[in-house]
Structure formats: C-alpha cells, structure tokens
Structure 1
Amino acid sequence: MQSSACVADAVVEAGKRCSLTKSVLAEWARRGTPRQVEYLLGYLEAEGASRDASKRAQLLRRCALPQAKTFEGYDWSCVSWPDGFGRDDLLSLSFLGDREDLVLMGDVGTGKTHMAEALCVLACQSARAARFFTASSLVGRLRRARDEGRLDRELAQIGRAELLVVDELGFLPLDVDGARLLFQVVSQAYETQSVVFTTNLEFSRWGSVFGDDQMAAAVIDRVVHHGRLLQFRGESYRVRHALMSPGGGGAE
C-alpha cells in the first residue's frame, strides 16, 4: 500500500495532466459514498475559487494600472451625472455590456483618473479584461508596434479588452501621425468595446489635441453615439491636501 504522502503526490501529478470532464465527474459522483462526494465537491469548489483568483490577478497585471485604486472612500461630490445614468449604473458596469463609452471631463485633480483606475480594478475583479493607457503612452506604444511591423497584432491585443481607458487626453498634443494611430483604436473599439476617456478639455477643443478638426470630429462622433458624459467640477484634491497650501505645513 502506498503511503499517504505518495498518494498525495500522485494526486497532484494526475491533476496536472488532465482537465476535468462532466462525464467523469458524474461517474465518480455516483460511485462515491456521500462523504466522498462531499469531499470531491469541496475540492472542486476550492479549485474553482483558486482559478478565479488567478484569472483576476492576471487580468489586473495585464491591465498595467499606474495605481490599483478602488472606489472605497472615493469623493463623489465633484461628479455631475448625465440623465439616465448614475452611480449604481457605473458600479454595476452595465455600460460594458452595452458597449457604451464614458467621457470623464472636467477640472484637474477632481477624481477622473481615480475613477478610471477604479473601474479597471472593478472590471478585473469581475473577470472582465481591461487595459489602461495614457493617451501619449498609447500612441507611443502603437508607433513602436508599427515601426516593428506588428501594429495589427498590437491593435488586436488592445481590442480584446472589454474596457479600454485612455487617460489624460489633451494633456499633450498629438502630431498628425499619432492622431491617426489613436483614431485607429477608437474606430476599432466602436460598438465592440467600452472606452473611457479622461480629459480636461471640452469637445470643442479636441481639435487642438488631434491637430485636425476633422479627425477630432470623427472621434467625437463615434464616442457620443454610444457614450455618456460625466462632468467633474471642484477644487483639485491635490491642492486641497498640498503641504504648500496655507496652514498645510509648507515653507513660509
């Protein structure tokens, strides 16, 4: 008779070699005693939980967030909601199922990027793929991929995410080449992904970002068709909590 340690090692090795099938599980569930079947169920539930946790962790790593922020303690006071869409709709991620876009527009430091990062975390926790880029880093990534002859593959990888965040649109102007690359992403995502943009610029000023009013109009046309605008107004969180603010302990 094999020792319990040997049997345990054999179980691990057997588990590495196979994927479980319904017919085999059903057969062993019929053959086992109630206590054995209960033990088998416990194992399967633990295995499922472990795989789910691994998938969520992998999705979060692939998302490449600068900071994995959540909505815990989030200050909602700066957010103005569009008609028919509120906090519960946002947190339920219902907009992902409808392939709707979100534009988080408004003052600097009012929580736009925090919200976008927290949405990515929420999506990954729900086992839904998300990717996070600043507008400039996304254009740089696409430019390198094109120069190396793998732009189609890069676009395909980006296109597999249910949620795509383009952060800081408008912080840095794009040249014509960069604008065209970003337009390819927006066009590909249209009605197939949800894109969340964060920006401090109103739509009327997007032409200055893309360097071309027609290009900007084409992007806006796609975004507003299935999109919602969340506006952010208020004093910057960083200014409110800055060491250099009056009474904040900064140098005099």
Structure 2
Amino acid sequence: MKDQIAYCCKKLRLGRKIVDVFEEVEADNNQEYLMKILQIALDNRETSRKNRLVKQAGFYALKTFEDFSFEEIRLPQDISPEELKKASFVDEKKNLILYGNVGTGKTH
C-alpha cells in the first residue's frame, strides 16, 4: 500500500512527505483526514520553497532573530522589536531606515 501511495504522490507531484506521515495522521472522518494530509503537503511545499529561495539567494550567513540582541539597539518609541519581527512595515508600505556604527547589527 505504501508503495502505491508513493507512486500516486509522485505522479501527482505531491511530494514524499505524505508517504512519510499518512499512517500517523488521525481524524474523525475521511474529509478531515484528507484535509490534514493536504495541509501537510502544502506546509511541506511552502517550507521547501522557502529553503530553496534562501539557498538561491546565496547569503553569506543565515541570520535570524533568535540570535540577535536588541539590548544595544535604540528603536523609536512607536516601534517594538516584535513589530520588527513581524515586518508589518512592509505590508503598510512604509520605509525602514537603519543607521549606526559598524558592527551594530544593521545587516543582521
């Protein structure tokens, strides 16, 4: 059965993730099961897409907010670190200007 599912996923270009998790998914009915499987496939596709784009970008080093310290950074009073992390200024079509000395984390 697993081989048949893998074959169908390959033909439908759904990815290998479904084959890896279809036995673990629990649902009350067929529709819910199908929805969960399709959501897993979509999530996996989106993750793969993001990873591919980051790799194509060729960054020297991958930087995240997890290893960034806001302690030495001065932000305007109306902007919090959480707002920067959400990047809501992009959706609002506002500019963000970062300035400061070398090594203060502007390109992070």
TM range, smaller chain: 0.5 to 0.7
Counterpart of 1:76?
Answer: 70
Following superposition, the deviation at residue 106 of structure 1 comes to 1.2
CA RMSD in angstroms, aligned pairs only: 2.5
Aligned residues between the structures: 95
Q: Identity rate of aligned residues, in percent?
A: 26
SS at match of 2:60: coil
Cα deviation digits, residues 141-177 of structure 1 (max 9, x gap): xxxxxxxxxxxxxxxxxxxxxxxxxxxxxxxxxxxxx
For 1:14 and 1:60, how far apart are their aligned partners in 2? 27
Counterpart of 2:53?
Answer: 59
Provide closer, same or farther for how the CA distance between residues 41 and 104 of structure 1 changes in structure 2, counting only shifts above 3 A. Answer: same
- 2:5 aligned residue (3, 8, 24): 8
Counterpart of 2:43?
Answer: 49
Task: State which structure, 1 or 2, has the greater radius of gyration over its C-alpha atoms.
Answer: 1
Cα deviation digits, residues 39-67 of structure 1 (max 9, x gap): 32232121111111112112322333211
Question: Is 1:112 matched with 2:106?
Answer: yes
Provide closer, same or farther for how the CA distance between residues 35 and 111 of structure 1 changes in structure 2, counting only shifts above 3 A. Answer: same
* 1:64 aligned partner, one-letter code: G
For 1:9 and 1:86, how far apart are their aligned partners in 2? 47
Cα deviation digits, residues 161-203 of structure 1 (max 9, x gap): xxxxxxxxxxxxxxxxxxxxxxxxxxxxxxxxxxxxxxxxxxx
Counterpart of 1:103?
Answer: 97
Provide closer, same or farther for how the CA distance between residues 63 and 96 of structure 1 changes in structure 2, counting only shifts above 3 A. Answer: farther
SS at match of 2:45: helix
> 1:203-218 alignment to 2 at 5 Å?
none
> 1:92-171 alignment to 2 at 5 Å?
92-114=86-108
Where does the alignment leave 5 or more consecutive residues of structure 1 unmatched?
18-33, 115-252
- After superposing on structure 2, the runs of 4+ consecutive aligned residues of structure 1 that deviate more than 4 Å are none
Counterpart of 1:226?
Answer: none
TM-score (norm 2): 0.68
TM-score (norm 1): 0.33
For 1:6 and 1:79, how far apart are their aligned partners in 2? 54
Provide closer, same or farther for how the CA distance between residues 38 and 64 of structure 1 changes in structure 2, counting only shifts above 3 A. Answer: same
* 2:97 aligned partner, one-letter code: V
